[in-house]
């Protein structure tokens, strides 16, 4: 099958085009105490429908090493007290922040939560340096998505003000395991 990957970025916090607030009891909270089990749960539940498989073989130790790193933040969107989606933000060199993973849990799609959560996630990416002593200010926020992700993912990213700066296409074989290949 053909896999297209789009790399998107924003270099201006003023370029954010906020989505509408979906209303209701919606919160966006940073996970203050790193929890490998919670991150694994979020990854598996959000990514299950989108063939996220690169972390499925991770051991508890690998999850612990990932979530305990300085500069990695996990943010969770809650709707009426239930986790509805999550994102991981990773501080990188030269003032870059990657939105490593982003998505909604099954049952929460189609409620206007994705655009709102992305708005909140981008704001947290832009002010990440405020939470990391000695970190230079954010100059660039970037992410990638691919043709295996949700049908509205790319449009959501563009609607919030991110621009495609690179596109790749490759042939991949997902027939043997039905799993998404690791995306560069």
Residue 175: which pLDDT band, with cuts at 50, 70 and 90?
low
Distance of alpha carbon 24 from alpha carbon 59, whole angstroms: 37
Residue 155 placed within a domain: yes
Question: Over the stretch 20-34, which tens digit does the pLDDT of each residue have?
Answer: 999 889 999 999 999
- Segments forming the whole domain that contains residue 34: 2-171
Cβ-proximal residues to 75 (8 Å cutoff; 6+ apart), any chain: 28, 29, 30, 31, 86, 87, 88, 89, 120, 121, 124
| CATH number of the domain within which 66 lies | 3.40.630.30
pLDDT of residue 164: 97
Q: What's the pLDDT at 184?
A: 32
Mean pLDDT of all residues in 150-179:
84
Number of domains into which the chain is organized:
1
Over 70: is that where the pLDDT of 176 sits? no
Give mean pLDDT, residues 8-19: 97
The alpha helices in the chain, defined as continuous H runs, are 36-47, 60-67, 113-126, 153-159
**Which DSSP category does 24 fall into?**
S
97-120 pLDDT, tens digit per residue, is 999 999 999 999 888 899 999 999
Average pLDDT over the chain reads: 91
Residue 163 belongs to some domain of the structure: yes
Antiparallel, parallel or unpaired: β 2-10 and 26-30: unpaired
Position 100 in a domain: yes
Residue 178 lies in a domain: no
Task: Give a yes or no: residue 78 inside a domain.
Answer: yes
177 in a structural domain = no
Cβ of 96: how many Cβ atoms within 10 Å? 17
Does some domain include residue 179?
no
Report the C-alpha gap between 34 and 32 in whole angstroms. Answer: 6
b/e code 98-121 from CB counts within 10 Å (16+ = b): bbbbbbbbeebbeeebbbbbbbbb
Percent of the chain past pLDDT 70, that is, above it, reads 94
pLDDT at 179: 40
10: closest CA among 99, 132, 75, 90? 99
| Residue 114 located in a structural domain | yes
> How far is it, in rounded angstroms, from Cα 32 to Cα 25?
21
Q: pLDDT tens-digit profile of 37-84?
A: 999 999 999 988 888 888 999 999 999 999 999 999 999 999 999 999
């Amino acid at each position: 099958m053909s896999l297209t990957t789009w790399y998107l970025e924003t270099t201006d916090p003023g370029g954010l085009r906020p989505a509408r607030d979906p209303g209701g009891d919606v919160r966006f909270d940073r996970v203050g105490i790193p929890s490998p089990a919670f991150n694994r749960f979020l990854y598996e539940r959000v990514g299950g429908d989108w063939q996220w498989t690169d972390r499925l073989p991770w051991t508890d130790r690998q999850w612990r090493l990932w979530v305990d790193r300085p500069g990695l933040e996990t943010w969770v969107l809650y709707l009426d007290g239930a986790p509805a989606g999550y994102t991981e933000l990773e501080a990188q060199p030269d003032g870059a922040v990657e939105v490593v993973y982003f998505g909604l849990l099954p049952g929460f799609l189609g409620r206007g939560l994705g655009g709102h959560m992305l708005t909140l996630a981008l704001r947290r990416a832009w002010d990440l340096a405020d939470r990391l002593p000695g970190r230079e200010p954010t100059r660039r926020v970037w992410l990638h998505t691919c043709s295996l992700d949700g049908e509205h993912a790319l449009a959501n990213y563009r609607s919030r003000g991110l621009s495609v700066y690179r596109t790749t296409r490759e042939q991949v074989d997902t027939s043997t395991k039905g799993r998404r290949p690791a995306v560069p």
